[in-house]
Structure 1
């Protein structure tokens, strides 16, 4: 098997992935939909290349998260939903407070079901913390969720804001709890309380972002964090590869990333939930008929 762009290794996962498994966090890139001041544009990161990842991992459902390079232009994500198949693909968009109701309706028709606030590094971010609550209330009316990519310290600083947001909240990349402090960081308590409230989800993704052990140490320093989330709310965990790993110059092995679930869970039933039934619930994969959307925004 040849190496796939933006992924090291060639072996399939050791984990036998169940039918209808979902990769709940990827990005697609197309220079045609890049912001004029875009940072981080990648080549060979289209739907065609991602299909090779699906074949390798055995996943069939996908959630595309609009990339930083496209800012608030969500056409690359809408096109990706079309290219990967509407019945098995959903999107998470990026908007700011200038978005119109018509644009939100187009995104909704096109398979987008949430918006992301990437404020981990606020430099050149198209959104601000002041936009979070008003936008959350607008998209809540559409039944969308809010996805947060914040630092652990930002979660602590904005605890009151997060707790008053309406609807479903999804924390990216294990809520970015730093190491070696790990579960002793106060953000872990906040996230755990939110998980216990019943409307918060965690993406078990981006292991390489905060691990100090990295791939050579099999990311084992993240085990206590991930396992604590799974123990608290196994029915609200989803897994994502984060392909094409835009933050990484040395690309991880995507098979190893999905195999982390065998350490972070205790039963095959939990893995089934994380890969199949949980994302079906969060992203509406079952019983949802999407209409044809106009992609000109």
Structure 2
């Protein structure tokens, strides 16, 4: 039988080991031509085919069931494409992370919650032109805390340190994207690592084990220099970690990663099967409110 096409993903093999039932891919984006991009927000080439239907093929390949759709920067604060993707992928198995500014109405927050949104993202690793700003962090946290939502932060390690005082005070959980963009190599003496550790140990933060290609100097085959950083996070707080593919890998315009290899990399980062199952099933169920 012919291989099924896998948009925005290299390779066609399935992961080496079957994933557990109800496994969650906690970080994907959807780009759908039916929805207009925000003027001036497009920083990278939007994938030509990265719809919810395309992602279904990735789910079948990986064996995952649940997903978290993260609002991409290209749509600014119009979360229509993300809400539509949640509905297409199934409200019981899909959640979303939106982008808003503090002026959003209470009615809008209620509407987003009903549509499956469970957090807000600030993507400020490259802050120029972003729809949100650092000074919005606390006002947004105060707006969403009563809803039980969290703030998802894509900050560079130096930015985490620069905003440490605010991060220690926010009244809602924090989710750090992509290994918290911590320096790789296994030294772990950096101020950013110390702050992330502090917040994890206080059960005030989570980290996504994702974005290996954003955090490596060793290249796509193996991502060897990410292993010790990921394992250090597992040693600190195995119950505060989730995994994400980052499909459709919008930052990787030429060479798309192999999503099955990224799932296999989780097995290298987390050799213990029980801990790996927690990261794929139980932890995201708690964080995102899956039944």
Alignment deviations for residues 131-157 of structure 1 (CA, whole Å, 9 cap, x no partner): 000110110011101111000000111
Alignment deviations for residues 52-89 of structure 1 (CA, whole Å, 9 cap, x no partner): 00000000100000011101010111000100000000
Alignment deviations for residues 12-39 of structure 1 (CA, whole Å, 9 cap, x no partner): 0012100000000000012323112231
Alignment deviations for residues 152-207 of structure 1 (CA, whole Å, 9 cap, x no partner): 00011111110101121100000001345752322011101111001211100000
Q: Which residue of 2 aligns with 1:223?
A: 227
Q: Is the 8 A contact 2:186 2:229 kept in 1?
A: no
Q: Is the 8 A contact 1:202 1:238 kept in 2?
A: yes
Q: Which residue of 2 aligns with 1:147?
A: 152
Q: Which residue of 2 aligns with 1:82?
A: 87
- For normalisation by structure 1, the TM-score amounts to 0.93
Q: Which residue of 1 aligns with 2:264?
A: 259
Alignment deviations for residues 222-261 of structure 1 (CA, whole Å, 9 cap, x no partner): 1111001111111111000000001002100000111112
| Distance (Å, rounded) in 1 between the aligned partners of 2:58 and 2:215 | 23
Unaligned runs of 5+ in 1: 287-297
**For 1:34, which of 17, 24, 37 is the aligned residue?**
37
| Distance (Å, rounded) in 2 between the aligned partners of 1:118 and 1:27 | 13
- For normalisation by structure 2, the TM-score amounts to 0.95
**For 2:237, which of 233, 242, 259 is the aligned residue?**
233
| Distance (Å, rounded) in 2 between the aligned partners of 1:109 and 1:206 | 29
* CA spacing shift, 1:110–1:69, aligned 2, 3 Å: same
Q: Which residue of 2 aligns with 1:9?
A: 11
1:44-193 equivalences under 5 Å are 44-180=49-185, 183-193=188-198
1:202 equivalent to 2:207? Answer: yes
Task: Measure how far apart 1:4 and its partner are.
Answer: 1.1
Q: Is the 8 A contact 1:33 1:73 kept in 2?
A: no
Q: Is the 8 A contact 2:102 2:143 kept in 1?
A: no
| Distance (Å, rounded) in 2 between the aligned partners of 1:26 and 1:74 | 14
* CA spacing shift, 1:181–1:224, aligned 2, 3 Å: closer
Task: Measure how far apart 1:93 and its partner are.
Answer: 0.3
| Distance (Å, rounded) in 1 between the aligned partners of 2:11 and 2:119 | 32
Q: Is the 8 A contact 1:207 1:219 kept in 2?
A: yes
| Distance (Å, rounded) in 2 between the aligned partners of 1:181 and 1:57 | 29
| Distance (Å, rounded) in 1 between the aligned partners of 2:47 and 2:105 | 29
1:236-251 equivalences under 5 Å are 236-249=240-253, 250-251=255-256
The worse-fitting range, judged by mean Cα deviation, of 166-175 and 262-271 is 262-271
In angstroms, what is the RMSD of aligned CA positions? Answer: 1.2
